[in-house]
Amino acid sequence: MHRLIIACCTLCFLNACNPQKKYDDTGVAFSISDTMLARCEFYEASEQPVKNEIRLFGKITADNNKMAHVNSLVGGLVLSVQAELGDYVKQGQVLATVRSSEVAEFQRQRLDAQSDVAVAEKNLQVARELFEGKLNSERDVNAAEKELVKARAELARINEVYAIYNLRDGSTFNIQAPISGFVLAKNVLPNEQLRSDVTEALFSISEINEVWALANVSEGDIGKIELGYDTEVRTLGFPDKVYKGRIDKIFNAIDPETKAMKVRVRVPNDNFQLKPDMMATVNVIFTENKKLVAVPSSAIIFDKSKNWVMVFKDRQNIETRNVEVYRQLGDVTFLSTGLQPGEKVISKNGLFVYDAIND
């Protein structure tokens, strides 16, 4: 009888010292079922360089190397506006039409220049015929040739103006898009009187298949920022969407108003979700000078004010292991203690196994 009592006490002690084994009513140790095993995923822990991040705040802007500010080259009355804010326009597309007396004046100058060329050509022909008939001198021929060269130069100048302004016959002038892109600003209305000396752009057009995220870096974080650091950009408009990028420029100047330095991140924007002037959060990711064991964040189970992982050896040998978390960075968690490189943990549905063993 005494031996039976001692054996039972020993069995209870062994069960307390081995929480990874749970016995059912028949005394068989816990074994993960085929169904549960198929639903689980496993990850072999490895030692990795520890990563850290700095959260910065800023906004999305258009790439100013892919932007065009459009002005009217002539003054006049705006007859119509064919593009609105946010529209996508193609290069050469008419944005607005203006009736202008300046265009009419250019047309008059062109007609005068064409007439002057015709007269100069006729005078040169007459001078040459008279020279052949010994009725004038070679100097007269040279003078006629110079007049023709001068007339042709003036006509070429007027034609160049027509080409630059893209003028046509009549008094109307079409303001055209110099590049393809989205209209980001519009400062013109129908029936508005334009002045040719106004410097404010009537339209701003930009390609936004790639945009910039400009973020502010506080003075305390300036020393932690370097070119080439990976970043994750998020916006209020698409909070679940992460846009990957890298710091490609550091503006080495402090804004006197914000007391911050700006950094630039180029962000691909193939679906045009990101719009200029959107507020953005930029997480800058960098590597610390140390290595720790890393596991997927989904492998961490928080219970009883502690962090646990399920260490998988085989389907009947699963250990609930207490670990100390050094840092969680997105999908990766770095551990200070509790796990060795090469040990396998349950990275998906480990909570079900944890409950089955520890409840």
Cα separation of 6 and 10, whole Å? 6
What pLDDT is stored for residue 172 in this prediction?
Answer: 85
What pLDDT is stored for residue 232 in this prediction?
Answer: 93
The answer to whether the 22-63+208-359 and 67-98+171-207 domains have the same CATH topology is: no
Cα separation of 23 and 91, whole Å? 75
What pLDDT is stored for residue 137 in this prediction?
Answer: 85
Candidates 36, 15, 122; CA nearest to 354 is 36
What pLDDT is stored for residue 182 in this prediction?
Answer: 95
Cα separation of 50 and 290, whole Å? 6
The pLDDT tens digits of the residues spanning 230-257 come to 999 999 989 889 999 999 999 999 988 8
Q: 166, 52 in Cβ contact below 8 A?
A: no
Candidates 213, 219, 212; CA nearest to 258 is 219
Average pLDDT of span 310-336: 92
Lowest mean pLDDT among 64-68, 118-122, 168-172, 184-188: 168-172
67-98+171-207 is a CATH 2.40.50.100 domain: yes
pLDDT class of 158 with cuts at 50, 70, 90 = confident
Q: What percent of the chain has a predicted confidence (pLDDT) above 90? A: 60
Whole-angstrom CA distances from 145 to 95, 120, 126, 157 are 44, 8, 11, 19
> What amino acid is encoded at 6 in this protein?
I
CB atoms within 10 A of CB 256: 6
The pLDDT tens digits of the residues spanning 43-98 come to 999 999 999 999 999 999 999 899 999 988 888 899 999 999 999 999 999 999 99
Q: In the chain, what are the domain boundaries?
A: 22-63+208-359, 67-98+171-207, 101-170
Cα separation of 110 and 94, whole Å? 24
Structure tokens at 211: 């945009």
pLDDT class of 5 with cuts at 50, 70, 90 = very low
What pLDDT is stored for residue 10 in this prediction?
Answer: 38
Annotation: CATH topology of 22-63+208-359: Elongation Factor Tu (Ef-tu); domain 3 (2.40.30)
> What amino acid is encoded at 168 in this protein?
R
Residue whose entry in the numeric block shows the structure tokens 């004046």: 105
pLDDT class of 160 with cuts at 50, 70, 90 = confident
pTM over 0.85: no
What pLDDT is stored for residue 28 in this prediction?
Answer: 45
pLDDT class of 13 with cuts at 50, 70, 90 = very low
pLDDT class of 29 with cuts at 50, 70, 90 = low
Q: What percent of the chain has a predicted confidence (pLDDT) above 70? A: 92
Is the pLDDT at 208 greater than 80? The verdict is yes
101-170 is a CATH 1.10.287 domain: yes
What pLDDT is stored for residue 315 in this prediction?
Answer: 84
Is the pLDDT at 328 greater than 60? The verdict is yes
- Mean pLDDT score across all residues of the chain: 87
